[in-house]
Structure 1
């Protein structure tokens, strides 16, 4: 369901920056605001921790990272 969002008390420099950014992207300030919110709040899907570990490069032996070495 679509919802209206009202943002009050925006500093003039922020409002101007929004308008300039919107113009640079060829869209209205309202459309730019929606895109900023969308990109800021969408999260990429999380990968399982095991997958992250499995994809780490091999950079040495465990002993290479032992802080107690001479």
Structure 2
């Protein structure tokens, strides 16, 4: 599965990169960004879902989730 952030919904709360720093980072203005190509590796599924569930704007999607 891959993680995506909708930049139109992200308000820069930073919960994604606080909860899952191996998957998400921040841009120069503090908005969340996906690191690399967004692939959620083995053992990262739990933290990816935690970031999704804690995003106040529901800006994070997991694509290709089984």
**TM-score normalised by the chain length of structure 1:** 0.28
**TM-score normalised by the chain length of structure 2:** 0.29
Name the structure with the higher strand share. 2
Structure ID, larger Rg:
1
